[in-house]
Amino acid sequence: MFICFFDQVGIVHREFVPPGMTVNVDFYCDVLITLRENVGRKEPQKWENQNLIIHHNNYPVHKSFKISQFLAKNNMTVIPHLPYSPDLAPCGFFFFSKLKLPMKGRRFDTIEEIQEESQRVLDTIPQRDFQGCFQAWQKRWDRCIRAKEEYFEGDGGI
């Protein structure tokens, strides 16, 4: 398993979950601490106001009280995610396919090989693709708002 944060420019932080480990509240809190540190060190211009905006899906660990407290204390704003709305999750409509398609049909002997290839694939995603993801995300949110949060199918020409 693997946790990744990205923006319109590219990958901001990525972290592999150790084999056999469950992502619990404490582990995820440590990931968020590392995310903050990496953004502050690697991209100080994004950290000038010390306010990160992130999007989570609705996994229970993301919605836990401890994580909510941590996010509030550290000026990390969460963009809400409607339940049962995979079309509104950038990981669902963009990221996973960018990662999986180049690796489809390949066999790996070790977890380390999978991790290395995953990182290589991620490093080849062009900035324009990340920009396109956020443009598509905005269009999908606009469509959801126009539908008054009612269910709809398909991408509506997005």
Q: In the chain, where are the structural domains located?
A: 2-146
Whether the predicted pLDDT of 138 surpasses 70: yes
What CA dihedral angle connects 113, 117, 122 and 125, to 10 degrees?
180
User: pTM (2 decimals)?
Assistant: 0.81
For 16-20, 55-59, 80-84, 88-92, which range has the lowest pLDDT when averaged over its residues?
80-84
**Residue 113 is which amino acid?**
E
Tens-place pLDDT, residues 33-67: 999 888 888 777 766 666 778 888 878 888 899 99
Highest CATH level, class, for 2-146: alpha beta
* Rounded mean pLDDT, 110-136: 93
